[in-house]
């Protein structure tokens, strides 16, 4: 502990800081002891607090413990190719007999994806991340792959996905990553992706629906739907529908839907209170890019809640997340106003690693095992808008989505 920071976390209290000349060390069985270099003595108790502490948990993924020729322990970080005599777990030591419980939140808006995965071994887990070639999606996929998961980068541009895969392998040659083509603006492409994935006979433990477009010019997809609605929402709906049998067979499994706080500033029902397809997939004259984005993100939360209600009895849970405010990513390229706003707000925004944290939290943290139907921001559960919590609207959206896909089923079969 002392002044150690590991993976962005500082787990020290001021009262635990060591006096000058003292050093913290650990034994092979995890107990801490303290060396006084001035008086040349060692002791078990902390020189200021009198507490005994121990190291807990497995080493962070990629680390190994070795012994040098003098019998001293040292630690090898294979991911970053470095060695140290300082146990990387010292940032997470605990009191052997704590006098009072800690009230500090474990993770927050400053937490990174790598922070959350500290000590996590995902070997044997299979993950799909849509839109994984850049931005938050790339950091999500990278973080999972560096901790042992087999990660499928599901992207529209396979060349960019392959380049993203190469970057991950350059960082750690043992990473298990694959690139597959998935164009969410085409239901046929979604169908082909699902068929290709199933042909691999792999389980699917985590499905992260991350891909999205923002403030795009009005266009219709090949399925005659407004592109923001289809890419951000309906394409993911169809993907989950096609893969739900694999998810169920792989249970416990998780789905994470990337939404946005902007879902709070819109509605998807008409004045009579019914779902209105003209609001979800508007004509060119009724289209405003920001509003279309907000509506698609509201759909994501409603879908996540309904998906959890339907599949949680089978061991598949779903949660929705907000990654962060005003984050610089490829999403901004379609709207110069967003670029300007980001330039002004950049000192206060999250990094891509921080943006991926809440997704990683919902995808992997043990405390959410078997829990779903929730919305998270800054790795903390919060309530979405009242409309996003409307179970009747969620069920109606599901039925409408099934109908939209079924109406195009004949076209998909050709």
* Active-site residue flag, 293: yes
Sign of the dihedral defined by the CA atoms of residues 231, 399, 370, 358, in that order: positive
Residues contacting 347, CB < 8 A, separation 6+: none
Q: Region of 266 please: left (phi>0), alpha (psi -120 to 50) or beta.
A: beta
Could you check whether the bond before residue 57 is cis, i.e. omega within 30 degrees of 0? no
Cβ atoms of 131 and 157 closer than 8 Å? no
Question: What is the rounded CA–CA span in Å between residue 157 and residue 382?
Answer: 34
Name the burial class of residue 71, with classes exposed (0-12), middle (13-18) and buried (19+) by CB atoms within 10 angstroms of its CB. exposed
Comparing CA positions, the residue from 126, 99, 125, 92 lying closest to residue 8 is 92
Cβ atoms of 220 and 226 closer than 8 Å? yes
Q: Can you tell me which residue has the tokens 């299979």?
A: 126
The catalytic position among 233, 293, 328, 375 is 293
Residues tagged active-site: 293
């Amino acid at each position: 502990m002392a002044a150690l920071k590991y993976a962005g976390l500082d787990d020290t209290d001021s009262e635990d800081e060591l006096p000058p000349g003292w050093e913290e060390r650990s034994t092979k069985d995890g107990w801490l002891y303290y060396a006084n270099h001035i008086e040349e003595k060692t002791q078990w108790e902390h020189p200021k607090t009198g507490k005994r502490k121990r190291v807990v948990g497995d080493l962070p993924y990629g680390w190994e413990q070795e012994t040098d020729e003098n019998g001293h322990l040292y630690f090898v970080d294979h991911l970053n190719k470095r060695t140290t005599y300082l146990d990387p777990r010292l940032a997470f030591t605990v009191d052997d007999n704590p006098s009072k419980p800690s009230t500090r939140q474990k993770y927050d808006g400053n937490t990174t994806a790598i922070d959350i995965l500290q000590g996590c071994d995902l070997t044997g887990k299979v993950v799909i991340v849509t839109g994984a070639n850049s931005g938050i999606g790339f950091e999500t996929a990278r973080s999972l792959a560096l901790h042992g998961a087999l990660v499928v980068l599901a992207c529209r541009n396979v060349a960019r996905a392959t380049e993203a895969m190469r970057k991950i392998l350059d960082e750690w040659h043992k990473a298990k990553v694959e690139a597959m083509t998935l164009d969410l603006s085409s239901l046929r492409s979604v169908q082909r992706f699902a068929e290709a994935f199933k042909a691999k006979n792999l389980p699917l433990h985590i499905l992260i629906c991350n891909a999205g477009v923002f403030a795009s010019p009005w266009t219709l997809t090949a399925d005659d739907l407004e592109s923001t609605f289809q890419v951000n929402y309906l394409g993911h709906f169809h993907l989950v529908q096609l893969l739900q049998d694999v998810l169920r067979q792989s249970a416990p499994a998780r789905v994470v839907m990337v939404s946005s706080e902007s879902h709070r500033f819109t509605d998807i029902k008409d004045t009579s209170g019914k779902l209105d397809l003209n609001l979800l997939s508007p004509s060119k004259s009724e289209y405003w890019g920001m509003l279309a984005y907000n509506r698609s993100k509201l759909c994501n939360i409603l879908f996540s809640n309904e998906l959890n209600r339907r599949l949680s009895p089978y061991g598949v849970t779903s949660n929705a997340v907000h990654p962060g405010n005003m984050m610089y990513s490829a999403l901004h390229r379609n709207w110069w106003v967003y670029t300007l706003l980001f330039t002004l707000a950049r000192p206060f925004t999250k990094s891509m690693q921080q943006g991926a944290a809440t997704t990683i939290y919902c995808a992997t943290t043990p405390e959410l095992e078997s829990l779903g139907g929730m919305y998270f921001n800054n790795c903390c559960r919060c309530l979405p808008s009242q409309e996003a919590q409307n179970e009747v609207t969620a069920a109606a959206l599901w039925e409408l989505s099934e109908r939209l896909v079924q109406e195009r089923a004949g076209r998909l079969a050709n």
